[in-house]
Amino acid sequence: MRTRKAFTLIEVLISIALLGIILVPLFSVVDLMRDSNQHLLKSLEKSKQITKATKVLFLDVLSSDGKIDIKKDEFTRLCIEETKNSLYNLTLAKVCWVVLKNKNTLVRIEGSHYTLPLEDEDKTEVDTIMSDIILFDVYHEKDKVLVLLQQKGKEAISFMVQGITNPVLKVLPNGTKIMRDGRKILPDGTQIFKDGSKILPNGTIVPAPNKPKNPNANRQRPNNQPPANNPPGTVPNHTQPQGQPPQPNQPPRNIPQGQPPLPNRGNPLPQNQPIPPN
């Protein structure tokens, strides 16, 4: 009979020992890769969060009306009175960026009409942006806004927004605001535009009043009156008798002194012929 060869017990034990020696560093490498992936994902999420926060702050400043209130303490408190960049579908929102003392957390406060510190009846939305803030500073000069932002253990982020001007040109003693676009905002909130139209505080639009028409604009010339054909700079002839064709306008002639004026060439008379009486 043919005998079948097989592994001996010693060979099997040696194989198991070699496999155990190989699997120990293999599992350690797998754990190291897993930890590296988790750390990378956390870093990406933080970077994405910082990028999103920077983008939101940039759009808040860019979409503002120029009314920016900056108060400096340990950290800068930035308040934008009106901005079109709303995360909660508001037409115009008031947004404040504040660093809280609890873990130096940067928050964004959005609402319509509120004051800091917040009260219970204020309807606002508070979003936590990031924590461990070591630098948040804002500078506003003329039409430029510079923002500096840094989180602990991260590189500082800075950006500048240009073209941010205050729309209020001047404020009259009675409280009326003269805007740069020509509008007038009364103390009660009524907006008056250049054409006379208004927007009342309740949102009602009042159209501009109709301007009176010029009474001479539609006046027509009589049918039997020929149109005037006078060259520029000449005076029309209003002494033309009725029933006679209009005489062409002659340019003025310089008559030497001591000579009688020449007869009108438009209607010459024969010499030595008396002028018929009227």
Is the per-residue pLDDT at 106 higher than 90? yes
C-beta separation of 158 from 149 below 8 A: yes
C-beta separation of 46 from 38 below 8 A: no
For residue 17, give the H/E element and its range.
helix 9-62
Residue 145's pLDDT is what? 92
Which of the given ranges, 28-42, 123-137, 171-185, 203-217, has the highest pLDDT on average? Answer: 123-137
- pLDDT, tens digit, 9 for 90 and up, residues 16-61: 888 888 888 888 888 888 888 888 888 788 788 888 889 999 999 9
Contacts of 160 (CB under 8 A, 6+ apart): 144, 145, 146, 147
Quote the percentage of the chain above a pLDDT of 90: 20
Cα–Cα distance for residue pair 111/133, rounded to 1 Å: 24
C-beta separation of 176 from 163 below 8 A: no
* Higher-scoring residue by pLDDT: 244, 193: 193
The mean pLDDT of 80-86, rounded to a whole number, is 90
Structure token pair of residue 96? 């404040």
Sheet with 133-141, strands from edge to edge, namely 133-141, 144-151, 157-162
Which of 59-63, 98-102, 117-121, 258-262 is predicted with the least confidence, judged by mean pLDDT? 258-262
- pLDDT, tens digit, 9 for 90 and up, residues 140-168: 888 899 999 998 888 889 999 988 877 77
Closest CA to 267 of 238, 242, 245: 245
C-beta separation of 167 from 175 below 8 A: no
Look-up of token digits 């800091």: 116
Is the per-residue pLDDT at 117 higher than 60? yes
Backbone angles phi, psi at 257, to 5 degrees: -70, 145
Residue 3's pLDDT is what? 65
Average model confidence (pLDDT) across the chain: 78
Residue 12's pLDDT is what? 85
Look-up of token digits 């956390």: 42
DSSP state of 103: G
Backbone angles phi, psi at 39, to 5 degrees: -65, -40
Every domain of the chain and the residues it spans = 56-162, 168-206
Is the per-residue pLDDT at 125 higher than 90? yes
The mean pLDDT of 172-178, rounded to a whole number, is 85
Residue 55's pLDDT is what? 92
